Amino acid sequence: MLILLLAIPILHRSPAFEDFIIRLSAMALFATSLNLLVGTTGMVSFGHGMFYGFGAYAFGLTMQLTELSLPVAALFAVALTTIAALVVGAICVRLSTDYFAFITLAVQMLFFSVIVSWQSLTGGDQGLRGGIPRRHIFGFDLGSQLHLYQFCAIVAVLGLLALRHVSMSPFGNTLRMIRDNAERAGFVGIILWRARLLAFTIAGGFAGMGGVLAALFVSGAYPELADWPNSGQAIFAVMLGGINSFLGPVLGATILLAMNDLVQRFTEYHGLVLGVVILAFALGLRRGVLDFIHLVWSKRAR
């Protein structure tokens, strides 16, 4: 898959496609990390966009304020986001479903208002401007779109593989058990809050990684990255692709991004079209595309 992705530009250069994949890598990481909470653990977080934005700002600020090299700054940003997720998670994971959703949303909105009002550091609602020095790393020149594309694709695929590893590990099975029957999981000796907190922290870290890629793409960071519609988009990507399939969120992010691009070309009323599509999907399929395919397949097999 990765080889295929990296081979495409050699055969045919298409800036629009490369641009699409760069944005998709950020979005796919973001959505898949959210699914570790929503699909695997059964925790619906409305505030996951916070960590996406946090990653983007942490990376952008580190690059602007320090002399650290890009990979170090990226790792540092992901580490910071992970710590932030640990702290936020410690407050949130003890609450039950509905309240968990709202407190995560509230923490995200708090973070958002801090970004907007702390103008001296973040540039307020203008966003973090001045650009990020795109230095050379490992022979990649991130100033060139082709290299940025390759870099993002590699990071995203590695990140997704790592997330898949987490999801397939015994720990992933523990999370699924908590989702299906928290009480029983508690009886067999699993410390619920600790497992949930770990899942929350891991998911936050990977969302931060997505945020780093987003910051690289726009060469800065904007409050919108941490705003609620972004969390909504991620939830929609997860739902659209399918919460019970690992690649579901990636497919969902692809469909969503493609749809956004397509609709924006034809009409300014892009919410109207998106809304109608969502309605058709929620009332028609009632599950994500990949989950739907799985269901149809398993029925046929029987």
Partner 1 sequence: MDFNALGACFTTPACVVTQATSGLIVGMLLFLVAAGLTLIFGVLKIVNFAHGTFYMLGGYVAYSAYAETDSYALAVLAGAVAMALFGVLFERVLMSRVYGSNVLMQLLVCYAVVLIFDDIVKIVWGPEFRAMGMPAAFQVPPLFIAGGVVPPFYAVLIGIAALIAIVLSLGLSRTRLGKTVRAAAVNPQMVSALGVNTTVLFAIVFAIGGGLAGLAGALAGPVRSLSPGMGFSILIEGFIVTVIGGMGSIAGAMVAALVIGLVRGFGTIGFPGFTDGLIYIVMIGILVLRPQGLFGRPL
7 is a site residue for partner 1 (CB under 8 A): no
> Using CB under 8 A, which of 24, 84, 107, 175 touches partner 1?
107
* Least distance between partner 1 and beta carbon 95 (Å): 5
Residues 209-248, one symbol each (x = binds partner 1 by CB under 8 A, - = not), give -------------------x---x--xx--x---x-----
* Least distance between partner 1 and beta carbon 87 (Å): 12
> What are 217's two structure tokens?
């793409």
121 is a site residue for partner 1 (CB under 8 A): no
* Least distance between partner 1 and beta carbon 100 (Å): 9
Kindly provide the residue ranges of all beta strands, DSSP E only, lying in the chain, ordered along the sequence. 136-137, 140-141
Q: How far apart are CA 293 and CA 54, in angstroms?
A: 35
Mapped onto helix, strand or coil, the DSSP state of residue 139 is coil
> Using CB under 8 A, which of 21, 34, 105, 152 touches partner 1?
105
275 is a site residue for partner 1 (CB under 8 A): yes
The secondary structure of the chain in percent helix, strand, coil, rounded to multiples of 5, reads 80, 0, 20
DSSP characters over 270-293: HHHHHHHHHHHHHHHT-S-HHHHH
* From 17-25, 90-98, 135-143, 216-224, span contacting partner 1 (CB under 8 A): 90-98
122 contacts 222 by C-beta, under 8 angstroms: no
* Least distance between partner 1 and beta carbon 118 (Å): 9
Mapped onto helix, strand or coil, the DSSP state of residue 242 is coil
Which residues, 6+ apart, have CB-to-CB distance to 189 below 8 Å?
A: none
- Which residues contribute to the site for partner 1 (CB under 8 A)? 38, 44, 91, 94-99, 101-103, 105-107, 109-110, 113-114, 117, 228, 232, 235-236, 239, 243, 269-272, 274-276, 278-279, 281-283, 286-287
